[in-house]
Amino acid sequence: MFEKLNEVEGRYAELTSMLADPSITSDPQQLMRISKEHSQLKEIVDTYQAYQSAGEELEESRELLAESEDEDMRQLVRDEIVALEARREELSEQLQILLIPKDPLDEKDIYIEIRAAAGGDEAAIFVGDLFRMYSRYADQRGWRMSITDESPSDHGGYKQIVAVIEGDDVYSRLKYEAGTHRVQRVPATESQGRIHTSTVTVAVIPEIDDEISIDVLDSDLKIDTYRASGAGGQHVNRTDSAVRITHLPSGLVVQCQNERSQHANKASAMKELKSRLTAIEIEKQRASVASDRRSQVGTGDRSERIRTYNYPQSRVTDHRITLTVHKLSQIIDGDLDVVVDPLLAHQHAEALKELGQSD
């Protein structure tokens, strides 16, 4: 670990010097790239320096303890040594986490698609419940959320709904939501009080920048227009301004109806299509790299059952890390950190294992 930390410290010093170089400061693109790397390393370097400082203070305190003959003074020094050892241990754990290679997509905005699977009307109603859960969570974290496509169900909720979520670290906190969510509860229409089980799939796609997205040929696209409908579409109900794009080679279909014009809907749908295609390619690369991992939080595959929401027992279970919490109403109301934080902690632990195995 310390060899890596010394390398990081050296690179940080090099970048600091580069930021004072007129030939770099006069080149906006290069300046932005170097400033970003400098900013990313700063927390590691600051934490490492705090760790070193705590070590020096610890050595001084141990020397003072060995030299002092006054018992009151010795007790004060012993207390200080205990505090410094705890502080050093805490900083060591922080450094291990900071050294985990960051997912380059973690800072990306996302498209989130929630779709009813098994369970008919009850599944559609739960799509609406999950959408509200993510909406409230986005509000809590100061993120912006906007619907790009929706297909309301006749009896409440949605057959499917797609939204964009923008803000800090959106993908890093929501990427493990991808998969199959199962709900167990008594539907409002159930006269016998029987519990029904329904499922909903969630897809989380990072919004990919144009500079890293893959090329999409016009000849590979089928573009249809249709009349927009649903909430937010009133201003375009009289014209065929909604857009559906089919990528023929992959069969992917995206659509957008909530922008103000056909042109805007087409641009939004194209952006989503490119993000989805690029995410598929990235996932293929990751799958080949991760094929020999002993364990991981989850593949994110939409067919994978990741979580169960049991209403009669007010219980939420995440099956990937065998986490069970009896705070269902709190989670559905948007307090998603209750399950997100343990998932991220588990991911950090697994990444640390891999980091240790690669040393």
Across the chain, mean pLDDT equals: 83
Question: Tens digit of pLDDT for each residue in 337-352?
Answer: 999 999 988 888 877 7
Q: Which residue is listed with tokens 């619907």?
A: 147
Q: Residue 83, SS3?
A: helix
The pTM of the full predicted model, rounded to 2 decimals, is 0.66
Confidence of residue 260 (pLDDT cuts 50, 70, 90): confident
- 331 HSE (CA, 13 A, CB side): 22
Question: With contact defined as beta carbons under 8 Å apart, do 243 and 251 qualify?
Answer: no
Question: Tens digit of pLDDT for each residue in 134-169?
Answer: 999 999 999 999 988 888 888 888 999 999 999 988
How far apart (Å, rounded) are the C-alpha atoms in residues 133 and 338? Answer: 13
The CA angle 160-341-111, to the nearest 5 degrees, is: 30
The closest alpha carbon to 229, from 191, 257, 198, 189, belongs to 257
How far apart (Å, rounded) are the C-alpha atoms in residues 187 and 119? Answer: 11
Name 319's Cβ contacts closer than 8 Å, sequence gap at least 6.
305, 306, 307, 308
Q: Please give the pLDDT value at position 353.
A: 72
How far apart (Å, rounded) are the C-alpha atoms in residues 334 and 340? Answer: 11
Confidence of residue 130 (pLDDT cuts 50, 70, 90): very high
As annotated, the residues of the chain forming the CATH 1.20.58 domain(s) are 2-98
Tokens (6 digits) for 201: 């799939």
Q: Please give the pLDDT value at position 289.
A: 41
How far apart (Å, rounded) are the C-alpha atoms in residues 202 and 306? Answer: 10
Q: CATH fold of 110-349, please?
A: Alpha-Beta Plaits (3.30.70)
Q: Is the pLDDT at 119 greater than 80, yes or no?
A: yes
Question: Tens digit of pLDDT for each residue in 297-351?
Answer: 444 344 468 999 999 999 999 998 989 999 999 999 999 999 999 998 888 887 7
Element (H, E) at 128: helix 120-140
The top-level CATH class assigned to 2-98 is: mainly alpha
Tokens (6 digits) for 176: 């493990």
Confidence of residue 235 (pLDDT cuts 50, 70, 90): very low
Element (H, E) at 113: strand 110-116
How far apart (Å, rounded) are the C-alpha atoms in residues 181 and 200? Answer: 5
How far apart (Å, rounded) are the C-alpha atoms in residues 172 and 106? Answer: 4
Question: Tens digit of pLDDT for each residue in 46-57?
Answer: 999 999 999 999
As annotated, the residues of the chain forming the CATH 3.30.70.1660 domain(s) are 110-349
What percent of the chain clears pLDDT 90, i.e. is strictly above it? 33
